[in-house]
Amino acid sequence: MAERLLALPSVGAHTLCASTDSQSLVRLASGIPFPIPWSWFLLNIWITVRLVYAMATSSELNGLVKFRNEHGLPGQLPAITVPPHALHVISPAIRELDYPLHVPSNIGLYGPVVLDTIPVEVADPELAQWLDRGKTVMMCMGTHFRYTESQVRAVVSGFLSAVDHDCGIQFLWKLSGKEMFQSLIDELLADPRDRERFKIVDWIQADPFAVMKHPNVIVSIHHGGANSYYEAAW
């Protein structure tokens, strides 16, 4: 039975249920509308072929599959296995977080799958004390996101224009390459009342999920990846 259980921690239930209707097979992340217009069918096929080729020739993916097989996990990765043939599929989705859909009987919606974390009070006591000061918006766009000067200006100006500096709401921001924008930040946060409400760091020492567990974190702004989405939802 273990060989026929699938755990898919990074896809929603709507992805799993798109297997019986040919017009449901739109390639994810392609930007192609659903249902697929006839004029987009060839493009969708081409994108699918390119994806299959890239996966088939990926040394990293093939290496991961080989490692799994050598350690008692047969077959391909669960995320690229056809779910309807599995005895049971473990999905992190829940109906309240997904599109309206029919869920086949072999798909279980168990809610977000997240790792245990060290409490922020332990991982970063200084940050925990700062969070204790008041309601906080956290913005973390992931390790690989690189800001431009115009984006930094837009983030700071957008927050200042949306949230009055007398309301007490503060802003925790992971800004990779912070030193490159320091002069711009100093210009935008010239008012001491605004400056003290911002905590801008190159790296958040505590796990983002642990930070979000702090009762004062009221908003999480992220890049939209599955892990960040489920952590914020949970």
**Averaged pLDDT, groups of 10, the chain, 234 residues long:** 38 42 61 84 89 88 92 82 69 80 85 85 95 94 88 93 81 93 94 91 91 93 84 79
- Helix, strand, coil shares of the chain, percent, nearest 5, are 45, 15, 45
pTM beyond cutoff 0.85: no
pLDDT of residue 18: 40
Predicted local confidence at residue 100, as pLDDT: 79
Task: Give me the pLDDT at residue 14, please.
Answer: 43
The string of DSSP letters for 172-196 reads: EEE-TTGGGGHHHHHHHT-SHHHHT
Strand runs labelled E in the chain: 5-7, 88-91, 107-109, 136-140, 170-174, 198-201, 217-222
Report the alpha-carbon distance of residue 218 to residue 134 in Å, rounded. 10
- Tell me the three state secondary structure of residue 138: strand
pLDDT for 7? 39
3-state secondary structure of 169: coil
Between CA 175 and CA 61 the distance in angstroms is 30
**Closest C-alpha among 91, 46, 60, 97 to residue 233:** 97
